[in-house]
Amino acid sequence: MRIKFLIAPLATLFFFGNVSAQKAKQMSLQYKIDYMLKRMTLEEKINMLHGNALFSSGGVKRLGIPELTCDDGPLGVREEIKRFDWNSANWTTDSATFLPNGSAIAATWNPALANKYGVVIGEEANARKKDIMLAPAFNICRMPLCGRTYEYYSEDPYLNAQLAVQAVKGIQSQHVAACIKHFAANNQETDRNMMNAIVDERALREIYFPAFKAAVQQGNAYTVMSAYNKLNGYWCSENDFLLNKVLKKEWGFKGVVMSDWAGTHHTVAAANAGLDIEMGSSGPYDKWYFADPLLAAVKAGQVSEKTIDDKVRRILWLMYHTSMSQNHPKGSIATPEHGKAAYEIASESVVLLKNDAHLLPLNTANIKSIAVIGDNAVRTFALGGYGAGVKAQHEITALEGIKSRFGKTASVTFAQGYKAKYLANNTDAQNSGYDQPDQTLIDQAVALAKTTDIAILCIGSNREFESEGHDRKNLELPFGEQTLVDAVTAANPNTIIVVMAGAPYDLNKIKKSNHTIVWSWFNGSEAGNALADVLKGVVNPSGRLPFTFPVSLNDSPASALNTYPGKDLTAEYKEGILVGYRWYDTKKIDPLYCFGYGLSYTNFTYTDLATNKKTYKKGDKITVSLKVKNTGSVAGKEVVQLYISKLNSSVLRPGKELKAFKKIMIAPGQTAPVLINIAINDLAYFNDKLKNWVIEPGQYRLMAASSSKDIRQTVGFNIK
């Protein structure tokens, strides 16, 4: 075998003569794939198209093609489980870096950090010999209650795409395939295995597809996972429009579509509609849809051999980029560098929601005692609930972080404050009473808070309460936390509220009654250190919300239009393109906290917003320039957000749409020039009738903003 592989590139050169190195590489790859394919029997081919264990699919031993291995997932490389069941394999070498959750990464508004995240995932996957990482996951946050909001990025397709592309590039820079998921419209967990999402094509093209398209075309993602749900009447794993027409044909996807675990429903329909590998089904492996039944379907002429060959080609293409690639990196796991990357992401993700009393950053000279209160101060988030987690090599809790950053100059004491009595796998009856306060714990917390200079109250949810497999029932803070907040705030006026969660919650009362609110996430191995550094001012907070916090659930589009969770297993996305801030803006509904919001310990002013021309045409690029000044006394990062709106549009357009952003570090007193390009083609809307993108001529408004509601400067321009 080895000798034949050496001959392959030489033969390519001989046959194709003087071609570019890139082209020669492609041709030699084609040659290798053809070479393999020609030597395979139909049975061997089909053996590669379905799982042969929980997290691998078959290879062809005779030809030296290894099996294909994969692992979850977004939070880091999951611990090794047994080959045929979900129990731990009890390895001692699989402790990994726990990376911040998806919405935390999104809150950094920093694509370079999404890339760093990807590199860590890729390196750790290599150390564990995994060819595919089932990450990143970036379904649009359509409904704030969705149980996987914490895994996903944002309600905005542009922010989503920028992060997804970089996460994919980072992972794949290590010769590990990213598996982008879940394609498409898996926006709720309620009935996810059965529900039919009815989404018009414009909303698909403008809201639900862009990050997938970008991850394929700009990120070159090697694999895509089809979603559990149906989309417009067809299971996503057998959706010809989704997989064949859009993904493979239109976007030119060269890689492999794999099903979500047990998300395959038929043999012929799925095989012909573009699914390549069936994963996670149950029963004997040779009885799966893509095993013996597929062989029979080929023999009966219901699926062509050409279709089978195309699937195998895709898998081999993926393998030559990953497990069978040259100079395949060895990888490394839970290294100090990976911990540093987790810290950087976490520290840029923390969002300062309110700082009215200017209590933050804490002045260590004046603080001699700190009460840290709340179950979340001592809780870890690497594991929990239903869905993938990480056996974290270390995870710094908030209490540990605060002790390490403040413990030398202040006494740090702890009270639990509330009991987090909720398990994702429990029934409602078993979980009943989870929202009740625990008066004994509250009394203890109040007694402690009365004696200290500062109280840091760590509340929010956890990985049991926000979980794959179920949605939350409402936006309320769980575990009686509001009662605890009220009591501790009354006892100590210097109370800082720290919320740790991955999705929007009802913070109405806290926003009204408390002066200091910090939002943290399920923030990875270094969460506690990052949080404490923000509280101390070592890190100036620069996180911005990646989704809207509504005042009330009924304000959110899917609730307002009564389309969630749907009727008779059908959810009609009646809000169309008006998802997230697009809805609140257009309908003039004030949110509690808007998309893109977050404070800093300094202030920024915007001046000199201009475009390089007044009038543009199709294919042009707008060069936007502006100046941002840091007017405060500390260095800080500002996220400059550029929104566009079409004036007097002939079709419905959102009040504004994010089209570019840039995160910049500015020293105190300094002014930073900012240059950002926006392609005119990216201002098109999708015309449902023409089934095409249309750039509407006329007047547009460009807004430079610090959040979606904080527009600092505007300028007009035209498109001819």
Instruction: Give me the active site residues, please.
Output: 260
68 binds ligand BGC (CB under 6 A): no
Strand pairing of 692-694 and 685-687?
antiparallel
659 binds ligand BGC (CB under 6 A): no
Q: What is the DSSP code string of 646-669?
A: ETT-SS---S-EEEEEEEEEE-TT
Helix intervals (H) in 492-614 = 508-513, 527-536, 557-560, 581-586
Q: State the DSSP H helix or E strand holding residue 544, giving kind and residue range, or none if neither.
A: none
Closest approach of ligand BGC to the CB of residue 239, in Å: 17
Nearer to ligand BGC, 180 or 553 (CB): 180
Q: What is the Cα–Cα distance from 479 to 117, expressed in whole angstroms? A: 32
Collapsing DSSP to helix, strand or coil, 613 comes out as: coil
Nearer to ligand BGC, 395 or 468 (CB): 468
Residues 6+ away with beta carbon under 8 Å from 513: 485, 486, 489
Q: State the DSSP H helix or E strand holding residue 23, giving kind and residue range, or none if neither.
A: helix 21-39
Site string for ligand BGC, 336-375 (x = CB under 6 A): ----------------------------------------
Closest approach of ligand BGC to the CB of residue 152, in Å: 11
Q: What is the Cα–Cα distance from 206 to 552, expressed in whole angstroms? A: 26
360 secondary structure, DSSP code:
P
Site for ligand BGC (CB under 6 A): which residue of 44, 123, 131, 260?
A: 260
Site string for ligand BGC, 383-402 (x = CB under 6 A): -----x--------------
Angle value at C-alpha 592, between 557 and 508, nearest 5 degrees:
115
Nearer to ligand BGC, 133 or 203 (CB): 133
Site for ligand BGC (CB under 6 A): which residue of 46, 52, 59, 72?
A: 72
> Which phi and psi angles does 660 have, rounded to 5°?
-165, 160
Q: What is the Cα–Cα distance from 298 to 306, expressed in whole angstroms? A: 10
Site for ligand BGC (CB under 6 A): which residue of 152, 235, 253, 261?
A: 261
Site for ligand BGC (CB under 6 A): which residue of 181, 202, 321, 379?
A: 181
> Which phi and psi angles does 134 have, rounded to 5°?
-80, 70
For residue 290, which of 560, 623, 42, 552 has the smallest C-alpha distance? 42
Closest approach of ligand BGC to the CB of residue 280, in Å: 6
Nearer to ligand BGC, 188 or 397 (CB): 188
Q: Is 650 exposed, middle or buried (0-12, 13-18, 19+ CB in 10 A)?
A: exposed
Q: What residues from 87 to 146 belong to the interface with ligand BGC (CB under 6 A)? A: 134
Helix intervals (H) in 537-606 = 557-560, 581-586
Closest approach of ligand BGC to the CB of residue 194, in Å: 14
Closest approach of ligand BGC to the CB of residue 670, in Å: 44
Closest approach of ligand BGC to the CB of residue 260, in Å: 5
- Do 510 and 457 contact (CB within 8 A), yes or no? no
Interface with ligand BGC (CB under 6 A), residue total: 7
Closest approach of ligand BGC to the CB of residue 53, in Å: 13
Rg (CA), the chain: 26
Q: What is the DSSP code string of 46-111?
A: HHTTBEEETTEE--BGGGTBPPEEEE--TTSPPPPB-SSSSSB---SS--B--PPPHHHHHHHT-H
Q: What is the Cα–Cα distance from 234 to 185, expressed in whole angstroms? A: 12
**Residue number closest to ligand BGC, CB atom:** 134
Closest approach of ligand BGC to the CB of residue 151, in Å: 8
Task: Count each helix (H run) and each strand (E run) in the chain, helices first.
Answer: 21, 27
Nearer to ligand BGC, 9 or 280 (CB): 280
For residue 141, which of 548, 610, 696 has the smallest C-alpha distance? 548
Show the tokens assigned to 16: 């194709």
Q: What is the separation of C-alpha 360 from the centre of its chain, rounded to a whole number of angstroms?
A: 29
Nearer to ligand BGC, 33 or 137 (CB): 137
Nearer to ligand BGC, 261 or 564 (CB): 261
Angle value at C-alpha 177, between 171 and 180, nearest 5 degrees:
85
73 binds ligand BGC (CB under 6 A): yes
> Which residues contribute to the site for ligand BGC (CB under 6 A)?
72-73, 134, 181, 260-261, 388
